[in-house]
Structure 1
Amino acid sequence: MRPPAKVQKKKKAAEPAAPKRQYDSPLRRQQTAETRERILAAGAEIAHHLPAWDWREMTFKAVGQRAGISERTVHRYFATERALRDAILQRLVQESGMPLEHLELRDFAGLTAHLYRYLSSFPPSSQEGVDPGLAALDVQRRRMLLSAVARSSKGWSEAEQEMAAAMLDLFWTPTYFERLGTAWQLDAGRATRAITWVIGLVEQAIKDGKRP
């Protein structure tokens, strides 16, 4: 004799449910990490071909194409292009080998040399679009500096004189003065004092015959 329908339903409800699929498995975590690594590696490759750190071409689409994945997949790992660029920048910092903590002053010169060797792997800034008048003024300024250094560094090679003049030229660059105000919050007086202090050190080194 068959049991009533209600009894059948109760038995069926009492049966254990099938185990749910484990989405957070070790394999899935490994695949997630590998995909993220592909994205960052692709972004770093793109950065090495962008002149003057102009990252306007560092987009979800460009990174996805370089990594061989969809733009949507990149977006799934990084909510915004700012987040993507920040992560790629941290990857480049790791590549450069530059420590961001526990810097000792005695190590600064060597670390700077290491950083410049790394930066030389990036393409130089393009001079296209520079105003002809500004370009001519820049040439005139460099000639004047070279002449001034040459008069105070008898016996130096042209290469040594050029390096010394180039260092002095840095302090005539508005970008460096602006950074003292934006990054270091120095007012115009302190920024000028700091710059003239370093210029004085370079000037004295030239007078003392301390070649670069």
Structure 2
Amino acid sequence: MSQRRYDNSRRREAAALTRSQIIEAGCEVVRESAVRDWGGLTIAAVAERAGVSERTVYRHLGSEAGLRDAVISEIQQQAGIDLEALRIGGVADLAELIFRQVSAFRAVATVELDPTLQAAAVRQRQALTAATAAAAPGWSEDQQRAASAVLDVLWAPAAYERIALDWGLDTEGAIAALRWAVRLVERAIAEGDPPVDDTTNS
């Protein structure tokens, strides 16, 4: 009886190790792609990376959906992301963890814009840069660029679409929410509160 319990324990440990290796292989596969591109995370790709059969992956994770759930859970755990513990006051810290995790993925250029839209985007960035420099002349170039970039994100069509479509706000609500966020950034600039320290990139 004692020997049987010992054998079962060894088998459980081996199974847990194999499962862990499969999930880690999945994490490696997705990090080689853009953060939103999980098309390469397949049973076949992970089995090859982990050095096991596809049948073994199915046995441990059940399905491709099960594999993906396990991988996203592992990525969040490795990054220290705990959404259940999220409280206002800790959102900025959690956002930093998320962005650091995102930076581990392969960077992919955004879809190339139509030349007319691309030129308009350049003019918008130039206008933001000039406005920020005028409002915060004592800031370093990196500080001015960071603040301008945040404003650029907030007035981008994608920001409106995310709030209106994903969060279900109506037109006026979405506009008001983004205007509120932009005003907070404008206030920080006016009060001399830069988004990054001068020493951040040194």
TM-score normalised according to structure 1 size: 0.79
Please name the residue that 1:44 is paired with. 27
Residue of 143, 148, 156 corresponding to 1:160:
143
Alpha-carbon spacing, 1:91–1:182, altered in 2? closer, same or farther (3 Å)? farther
**Tell me, what secondary structure is at the counterpart of 2:83?**
coil
AA in 2 matched with 1:171 = L
AA in 1 matched with 2:173 = R
Cα deviations by residue, 1:45-96 (Å, 9 ceiling, x for unpaired): 1122112331111111100000001122212333332221111001100011
Please name the residue that 1:77 is paired with. 60
Please name the residue that 2:113 is paired with. 131
Alpha-carbon spacing, 1:82–1:181, altered in 2? closer, same or farther (3 Å)? farther
Shift of 1:102: 2.4
AA in 2 matched with 1:116 = F
Q: Tell me whether 1:174 sits opposite 2:174 in the alignment.
A: no
AA in 2 matched with 1:96 = A
Larger Rg: 1
Shift of 1:107: 2.5
Equivalent positions of 1:15-164 (< 5 A) are 25-127=8-110, 129-133=111-115, 134-164=117-147
Shift of 1:142: 1.1
For the 8 Å contact 1:51–1:126, the answer to whether it is kept is no
Larger mean Cα displacement after TM superposition, 139-148 or 181-190: 181-190
TM-score normalised according to structure 2 size: 0.83
Aligned-pair identity in percent equals 38
* C-alpha RMSD of the superposition: 2.3
Please name the residue that 1:12 is paired with. none
Cα distance in 2, alignment partners of residues 189 and 59 from structure 1: 42
Q: Tell me whether 1:196 sits opposite 2:161 in the alignment.
A: no
Shift of 1:132: 4.4
Cα distance in 1, alignment partners of residues 165 and 14 from structure 2: 42
| Alignment gaps of 5+ in structure 1 | 1-20
Shift of 1:35: 1.8
Cα deviations by residue, 1:80-121 (Å, 9 ceiling, x for unpaired): 322211110011000110121222322322332233233222
For the 8 Å contact 1:47–1:53, the answer to whether it is kept is no
